[in-house]
Amino acid sequence: MAFLADALSRVKPSATIAVSQKARELKAKGRDVIGLGAGEPDFDTPDNIKAAAIEAIKRGETKYTPVAGIPELRKAIAAKFKRENNLDYDWQQTIVGTGGKQILFNAFMATLNPGDEVVIPAPYWVSYPEMVSICGGSPVFVPTTIENNFKLQPADLEAAITPKTKWLMFNSPSNPSGAAYSEAELKALTDVLMKHPHVWVLSDDMYEHLTYGDFVFTSPAQVEPALKERTLTMNGVSKSYAMTGWRIGYAAGPLELIKAMDMIQGQQTSGACSIAQWAAVEALNGTQEFIPANKEVFRGRRDLVVSMLNQAKGLQCPTPEGAFYVYPSCADAIGKTAPSGKVIETDEDFVTELLETEGVAVVHGSAFGLGPNFRISYATSEALLEDACTRIQRFCAALR
């Protein structure tokens, strides 16, 4: 009899974590490696947020918290949704988790039965389908195209919905493509969902504040208020506030679902770190002045990377509206021979040879469910990005 659970056979390790680990290992051996695999801002957490955490420690805020979060943070979350998204939630309709991952996991654990389907547009964040599978559901992938800037089309959503569909997993701006949906594009999708009242929406808004130019962010329940009673809107402080290691995610939704997630979390981790919660209160309630400045830095990096990748032989890189990723196609490299003599048959071959030949670590697109592409995180300095893109250009030029 096998000791490990059958569920593990349905789950793959995180490719993004694996790439970062490989880059670290090569660096430890003395290799000159530029790691562009991690989805983590290189900015430090703002001083006002760090100060709030220090004050919380001095006040003795070091005990267990309520499972769903301290009331001060849950009220700040409700106020944020009203202020920024025009969504009215009572603070008891909110929940705080140890990062966005726990929010998603709890939502799936609370709702999925064997055979339930979750529609996931591809490319997708690597953890979505694995969470669905662990929780007993079946991921249903809907491919997007580079011609549509990797955005889900209404007809494709309609075709993917069956009587077994329980959730649409929606992410805008997207990890890994950076694609963000305009209000009109989102309305076309919510119009489809209005025809299928059994389908709920799990909206991952983690990159909400990282959009560029004139783009205006909107969330599904904001665009279609009639969807609010079957939408869980998830967000967090990790990306916008450079608080990845603080591990605070949050959500708001119908009270029955929030209570079910609270019960699961109570048997799993209990409340998130007390100090991190007080820091998150300051993040949401305090000054937001640094966000536009950080966005401008990211925009400059995006434009640099897109320009340089489109100058690389055989690469095609759309300009994304948000997040801090680009998702170029390397289709023209398939079938060619790398400097090592290896024939590149997949996007995984492409990124492996790129790492071995030029010391640039990126994540292959097939890990996100759509290739032949690769993901670059531009959450690092322009100098490193310029160096990395120069190496990518050199690698592509050397393919035969």
* 243-292 confidence digits (pLDDT tens): 999 999 999 999 999 999 999 999 999 999 999 999 999 999 999 999 99
The confidence score (pLDDT) of residue 230 equals: 98
Helix or strand run (H / E) with residue 138:
strand 138-143
Asked if the model's pLDDT at residue 333 lies above 80, the reply is yes
DSSP per-residue codes, 55-120: HHHHHT--S---TT--HHHHHHHHHHHHHHH-----GGGEEEESSHHHHHHHHHHHH--TT-EEEE
DSSP letter (8 states) at residue 273: P
pLDDT above 90 for 173: yes
pLDDT at 2: 85
Q: Can you read off the two tokens belonging to residue 163?
A: 């009587």
- How far CA 58 is from CA of 51, 61, 64, in Å, comes to 11, 8, 16
User: How many helices (H) and strands (E) in the chain?
Assistant: 13, 12
Report in angstroms the alpha-carbon separations of 165 from 140, 193, 287.
9, 11, 41
Residue at 73: amino acid letter: L
Strands 249-252 and 94-97: antiparallel
Rounded to an integer, what distance in angstroms lies between the CA atom of residue 14 and that of residue 73? 30
Return the amino acid letter for 243: M
Please list, residue by residue across 349-361, b when 16 or more beta carbons sit within 10 angstroms of its beta carbon and e when fewer do: bbbbbbbebbbbb
Phi and psi angles of residue 283, each rounded to the nearest 5 degrees, phi first? -60, -45
Is pLDDT of 73 > 90? yes
135: CB partners within 8 A, 6+ apart: 105, 108, 109, 112
- The pLDDT of residue 240 is above 90: yes
Q: What is the mean pLDDT of the chain?
A: 96
| Contact predicate 155/189, CB 8 Å | no
Average pLDDT (315-319) is 98
CA distance 67 to 249: 13
pLDDT in tens, 75-122: 999 999 999 999 999 999 999 999 999 999 999 999 999 999 999 999
Report d(CA 176, CA 150) in Å as an integer: 10
Length of the chain: 400
Q: Which residues pair with 20 in a beta bridge?
A: none
> What's the pLDDT score for residue 6?
84
Mean pLDDT over 302-330 rounds to 98
Q: What is the mean pLDDT of residues 171-185?
A: 98
Give bridge partners of residue 233 from the DSSP assignment: 203, 252
pLDDT reported for residue 8? 82
State the pLDDT at residue 26. 86
- 27, 107, 165, 237, 260 from 111: Cα distances, Å: 43, 6, 12, 25, 9
Domains (range + CATH), the chain: 6-44+290-398 (3.90.1150.10), 64-285 (3.40.640.10)
DSSP-assigned states of every residue in 15-51: HHHHHHHHHHHHHHTT---EE-------SPPPHHHHH
Instruction: Look at residue 128 in the predicted model and tell me its pLDDT.
Output: 97
Residues 6+ apart with CB under 8 A from 39: 16, 175, 239, 324, 325, 377, 379
Write the pLDDT tens digit of every residue in 14-72.
877 777 788 888 889 999 999 998 889 999 999 999 999 999 999 999 999 999 999 99
* pLDDT of 14: 80
Q: What is the pTM of this model?
A: 0.96
